[in-house]
Amino acid sequence: MSTITITPFYKFSRMKITEHHYLPDEKYLRLSLAPDARTTARCPHCGAACPTVHSWYERPVRDLDLADCRVVLDCRLRKTHCTACGSIVVEACEAVDAYKRVTPRMALYVHGLCKWMSLSDAARHVGLDWKTVRDIDKAFLEKRFSEPDYSGLRVLAVDEIAVKKGHRYMTVVLDYLTGRVVWMGEDRKQATLEAFFDALTPAQRAGIIAIAMDMWPAFIAAAQAKIPQAAIVFDPFHVIKMFGKVIDDVRIAEAKAASETNKDVYKGTKYLLLKNRENLTGQERERVKELLALNETLCMMDILREKLKKIWTYRSRGWAARALDEWCALALSLNRRPLTQFVKMLQRRRAGILNHCRHPIHTSKLEGVNNKIKVIKRKAYGFHDLRYFQLKVYQAFAP
């Protein structure tokens, strides 16, 4: 007599298989699961024994596939009156959690798939609805990341990322030293970042010594209000990017003032002037040389851009301050309105630029994080549930 059996794969405590139905054409296996008559039902909340059966509760539950067969467990459970809790409850069962349509081990398997696959791919693979797959994955993520870890924060980087069309953003806070995404919040207002700082204890806020960011006023105001002791450090990338717009405004003005014979020289040079010189091709380099030889103002703008980059290379605050003053004086000598406005902005944000000497940090690490977050968003074709999106980001950058 054959002793081969599938029972060892379905050994749930205090439960037994009563019958099974196998449909080979449909690759479908249905197992009936019932309580062992020798056991006493237990309350799922307090664990107390409940000897009195009030009624019976039946529910189909999806389990892990067996080979290439879909497996469904028809669970027949006892509904009892718990004298300790004073309520009527369905007995605790290892095979199924309350209000769940999949077994715990099936849920764990789905959660593992969702770490590497999109929701739709995971749903097709296991034969479940994508919303069910999302809820399973979200429940595991909530269990792990519902209590954020703010310990050991010393240096932060802050930036925003677009999550939907129509200027819908989320603020991202990065632990600069470990590369861990510490927090994400909807929108990019002052109140958004202040909500993060309010979640910290006074000791944790006092431990932050520096924070890298762009010149977004809302972030600056939040940092100054909540962590006044921390040095605000402005990222060179965003400052150079802002100066690129100034260069283009000046280029447009110079092109309008140029004679008809020279107007063709200005055409198609917008991005050539903004490119780093080492990235120009031979033909592009010749076009830039021709333009700069023709227009002294644009030649000076090109020099100013290179000098502006070098301010962030100083490690002495005094030398950096002198270089910044010289740069502003040279820029003002050109007497161009866009340039004058840019100089005034630099002078208002002077402290944040010079703080780079003491804290040589920037948001380039966070820009890399943002790129990975965008990949997560594209992989899922966007997220309707921003909380789930937030949890997926925490998972991607968890230690």
Total number of domains constituting the chain: 4
Residues 160 and 135 in one domain: no
- pTM of the entire structure? 0.78
Residues 270 and 182 in one domain: no
C-alpha angle 371-375-376 in degrees, rounded to nearest 5: 115
Residues 231 and 321 in one domain: no
Residue type, 219: F
Q: Where is the domain boundary, 147, 174, 204?
A: 147
Sign of CA dihedral 81, 86, 88, 89: negative
Residues 278 and 340 in one domain: yes
Residues 274 and 320 in one domain: yes
Residues 59 and 138 in one domain: no
What domain range includes position 189? 155-235+362-396
Q: Which of 124, 147, 162 is nearest to 386 (CA)?
A: 162
Residues 335 and 259 in one domain: yes
DSSP 3-state assignment of 127? coil
Q: What is the 3-state secondary structure (H, E, C) of 155-188?
A: EEEEEEEEEECCCEEEEEEEECCCCEEEEEEEEC
- Bin 96: left if φ > 0, else alpha if -120 < ψ < 50, else beta: beta
Residues 193 and 218 in one domain: yes
Residues 384 and 341 in one domain: no
Residue 92 is encoded by which pair of tokens? 């605790």
Structural contact between residues 2 and 10, judged by C-beta atoms closer than 8 angstroms = no
Locus of tokens 């997220």: 383
CATH number, domain at 163?
3.30.420.10
What is the full per-residue pLDDT of the chain (399 aa) written as tens digits?
A: 456 777 778 888 788 888 888 888 888 889 888 888 888 888 877 888 888 888 888 888 899 998 888 999 888 888 888 888 888 888 778 778 777 889 999 999 999 999 888 888 999 999 999 999 999 999 999 999 988 889 899 999 998 888 877 668 889 999 999 889 999 998 899 999 999 999 999 999 999 999 999 899 999 999 999 999 999 999 888 899 899 999 999 888 888 888 777 778 888 788 888 888 788 888 888 888 888 888 888 899 989 999 999 999 999 999 999 999 999 999 999 999 999 999 999 999 999 999 999 999 887 787 788 888 888 888 776 677 888 888 999 998 887
